[in-house]
Amino acid sequence: MNEFGRLKRLAMRRPQEAMRNQAKVDAEWRDLNYHTRPDFDLAAREHDRFAEVIKSVGAEIVYLPEHDSLTMDSLYVRDAAAVCPKGVILCNMGKPARRGEPAIHGQAFEKAGIPVLGGITGEGSIEGGDLIWLDEKTVAIGRTYRTNDEGIRQFKNLVGADVHVEVSALPHYKGQSDVFHLMSIISPLDKDLQLVYSPLMPIPFREWLLAKGMNLVEVPDSEFASMGCNVLAIAPREVVMVKGNPETKKRMEAAGCKVHVIEADAISVPGEGGPTCLTRPLIRG
């Protein structure tokens, strides 16, 4: 289990199924706390181009279906499910408007023959953006407004005692109505390389990464809001980032990364969901 191996299989949901049309976007974007109104047609084009980059490493995309219970936040498929060595874990969303998403993931995975181990239920909440597997036996979890203690307890039970779960409590930052996941401040680039935004990183977590021998590429302050820290590894040291973060790009290249840049004015910037959020990796090499 890791977040940097060559992508072999992943789930995505296209804007055509998540947003469906401009009228749905117009009805939802304010209530979901988007910064601006996404353009539906542009979103569809941007998503297709992003998918082409992903397919260039040989990955198979499982497209998730539309459903009346979903809002356009269902574009950000990472959050509704997690993976572990024993199968998929369906999450329980911390954002109330997104509560319908995990069940639809579950139905689609079953149909595609992807084994589901179980789910987070009841008072427990976890969103996939708060989870990072560093290796087969080590997973880091952000304790955030979206991921609570009960959710983490249930997750530990599902993965079993032989997995080390490193819990890192994140700061309040912009508060409960904002989206602030562990993956807002760290994106794995390779086995020994992490892209980080240290100003919002809890000190013990940063020290833990360094003690594990990780090299850190720092995102500058000027590129944090433009999703500079949300970067998807599609293979070791081969990554996809959102346009408009030239300094972060330069720093990743200096660390030996091949960087693909995508336009994401409609699919990322308004809803604060970058390349990692738009994908639910299932199998990596």
Ligand X SMILES: NC(=O)NCCC[C@H](N)C(=O)O
Name the site residues for ligand X (rule: CB under 6 A). Answer: 32, 73, 76, 78-79, 95, 98, 129, 179, 181, 183-184, 271-273, 277
Q: For ligand X, which residue has the nearest CB? A: 129
* Phi, psi angle pair for 165, to nearest 5°: -110, 110
Decide: 12 and 51 in contact? Cβ < 8 Å.
yes
In the complex, least distance from residue 278 CB atom to ligand X, rounded to whole angstroms: 8
In the complex, least distance from residue 268 CB atom to ligand X, rounded to whole angstroms: 9
Residue 95 or 284 with smaller CB distance to ligand X = 95
Residue 147 or 154 with smaller CB distance to ligand X = 147
In the complex, least distance from residue 252 CB atom to ligand X, rounded to whole angstroms: 19
Residue 62 or 183 with smaller CB distance to ligand X = 183
Residue 59 or 229 with smaller CB distance to ligand X = 229
In the complex, least distance from residue 192 CB atom to ligand X, rounded to whole angstroms: 23
In the complex, least distance from residue 79 CB atom to ligand X, rounded to whole angstroms: 5
In the complex, least distance from residue 254 CB atom to ligand X, rounded to whole angstroms: 26
Decide: 98 and 71 in contact? Cβ < 8 Å.
yes
Residue with tokens 């995990």: 102
Residue 151 or 271 with smaller CB distance to ligand X = 271
Distances (CA, A) of 106 to 81, 112, 226: 8, 10, 32
Residue 66 or 253 with smaller CB distance to ligand X = 66
Residue 102 or 273 with smaller CB distance to ligand X = 273
Buried b / exposed e across 150-181, counting CB within 10 Å, b at 16+?
bbbebbbebbeeebeeebbebeeeeeeeebbb
Decide: 232 and 279 in contact? Cβ < 8 Å.
yes
Residue 83 or 210 with smaller CB distance to ligand X = 83
Query: Which residue in 281, 282, 235 sits closest to 259, CA to CA?
Result: 235
Q: Distance between CA atoms of 95 and 101, rounded to whole angstroms?
A: 11
In the complex, least distance from residue 271 CB atom to ligand X, rounded to whole angstroms: 4
In the complex, least distance from residue 78 CB atom to ligand X, rounded to whole angstroms: 5
